[in-house]
Amino acid sequence: MEKRHAVRSFTDGRIEGEIKDALDKEVAACNSEGGLRIQLVTDEPEAFGGFMSRHSDFSNVRNYIALVGADNTESREKLGYYGERLVILAQRLGLNSCWVALTFSKRKSKVEVGPGEALVCAIALGYGTTQGGESHPIKRPDEVSKCGTGVPEWFAKGVECALLAPTALMKQNFMFEYRDRKVYATSKGICAPVNLGIVKYHFEVGAGKDNVVWG
């Protein structure tokens, strides 16, 4: 999570073999657990081939993860959670990535979207021409958390890990609160449900999933 940065320019390296198999396996697991229809698309240049993508400095994006699920708030939060789980796996596999909400063509993408579903956003994927390298803009833990006395150490670790999460425009408009032995999380602003899912995944990794009871 500390090493992962947004990357928008990619080489011609193909996602194949064991790396593709690992991604396919994890996509299937995420869909099964979350009741989603996330799809891995490889060797497809059209979705990121338009003016908006080029204007946003995307280059040679031929692979992406399409985040598809029921068209409701609960599903969007799940797509954030499981999408970030896939992003971290991709980083571990030596790939680079970037979350994308608007600057790709949903119409040109090779994605199946059924009745009552939505293609909420995508994750550009591949071998980056760089590793990103920019520092995560980070707020202080006390700016994104509320807690009283007797807060367990794992809660603080969860907040620290959440501060490494990518969020829309890097605003980090989220808040964690610990009370009555439960963790309450909220997010606001653009793409709030997706952002909430992303930061919840990071929080669980830092805190230890078994410690977290969501309120």
Domains of the chain listed by start with CATH number? 17-126 (3.40.109.10), 141-211 (3.40.109.30)
pLDDT digits (tens, 9 = 90+) for 74-117: 999 999 999 999 999 999 999 999 999 888 888 899 999 999 99
The reported pLDDT for the residue numbered 168 is 84
Region 53-78: what's the mean pLDDT?
92
> For residue 153, is pLDDT > 80?
yes
> For residue 137, is pLDDT > 80?
no
- pLDDT band for position 4 (cuts 50, 70, 90): very high
3-state DSSP assignment of residue 107: coil
Which pTM was predicted?
A: 0.95
